[in-house]
Amino acid sequence: MNMADLDGLLVVSLEHAVAAPYASCKLADAGARVIKIERPEGDFARGYDGLVKGQSAYFVWINRGKESVCLDLKNPTDLGLLRNMLETADVFIQNLAPGAIERMGFGVETLRAAFPRLIICSISGYGTTGPAKDQKAYDLLIQAESGLSAINGTEHGPARVGVSVCDIAAGMTAYQTILQALIGRGKTGEGRAIEVSLFHAMSDWMNVPYLQYRYGGKEPSRAGLKHPTIAPYGVFECSDGKSLLLSIQNEREWARLCDIVLGDPSLESRSGFETNSARVENRETVDRTVGSALAARSRDENIDLLQRAGIAFGRLTEPEDLIGHPQHNLIAVQTGAGEIELLAPGAHVPGEVATYGPVPELGADTDRVRREFDR
């Protein structure tokens, strides 16, 4: 992941909110020049909150390294400027409301005919076919519509996943598909049109419960901090009031848990405990047995035993703990309000020092980009 891998690539992104900005941010991180087209009042994600030195947490997270250009796309002059940008662009990303890009005269077929090398990525709520194709959509709505809410939450009811997981899934899908299209264009010289929707990106992630229900008749359940089909796999409270999650993935691990952590090797073959399927059927008793052993020791004492047994575990981390987590990698990003630290992207290349562009102020690059593309 060399930071200059996409150097020389021009990306024009008519974007707002999360999904498209996530994709274009990753392209910017890889060295592409990204021109972010904003409405005159700005991407509405700039106003989601003011918690990061007066700026929106979502905005500063996924808009680093871009140029901000404000255009009024109801104005023919600004539409012409956008067209001039697309003449030399490699990638065009847009996530406007259904039908908006066509009303501007920039429909996919029009762009494909005018700019055959251009890679066009359109991100929507539901795609361009089917009865919901014109329906506006946002993350929480798709969490519900895709079935994610049916498996998330507790026995008392559904809950929202605490980050915009559908937007992020769509942004990740767009990014990887754009990279695939760039490789394809390198072979054929031809661009392509890409459609990504929040619904279909999340539906892909929902394949396991879908398959379990369609072919196995297993009703989805909201398991909270338990795994719906593996036991023991969940959260347990320790004697110091701190919580710990553990995960048993196979019978060998179950045997070691019984012997080293629970101190009772006979549990391994006890009726109702002897296989994962039996433990899931008997989850309440299994969890009570495991929980009573862990509750007799502090979290650190339990961790020592779990490490000795080779059992996977995780601490139930609160935001305060997250800030100081010893495993973190952090990156520094400049904003109009000064430098901030972000949790680093999930991939890195050992030996390389990554640098990241600043988060643009609204319209900071408008005049310069107008002069560049005014013909």
Catalytic site positions? 227
Task: Tell me the C-alpha to C-alpha distance, in Å, between residue 281 and each of 54, 199, 227, 285.
Answer: 51, 33, 13, 9
Q: How many CB atoms lie within 10 A of CB 251?
A: 13
Closest CA to 356 of 338, 334, 340: 334
Give how far the C-alpha of residue 197 lies from the chain's centroid of Cα atoms, to the nearest Å. Answer: 14
SS (H, E, C) the chain: CCCCCCCCCEEEEECCCCHHHHHHHHHHHCCCEEEEEECCCCCHHHHCCCCECCECHHHHHHCCCEEEEECCCCCHHHHHHHHHHHHHCCEEEECCCCCHHHHCCCCHHHHHHHCCCCEEEEEECCCCCCCCCCCCCCHHHHHHHCCHHHHCEECCEECCCCCCHHHHHHHHHHHHHHHHHHHHHHHHCCCCEEEEEHHHHHHHHCHHHHHHHHHHCCCCCCCCCECCCCCCEEEEECCCCCEEEEECCCHHHHHHHHHHHCCCHHHHHCCCCCCHHHHHHCHHHHHHHHHHHHCCCCHHHHHHHHHHHCCEEEECCCHHHHHCCCCCCEEEEEECCEEEEEECCCCCCCCCCCCCCCCCCCCCCHHHHHHHHCC
Which residue has tokens 């001039």? 84
Cross-strand pairs, 265: none
How far apart CA 254 and CA 259 sit, in angstroms, is 9
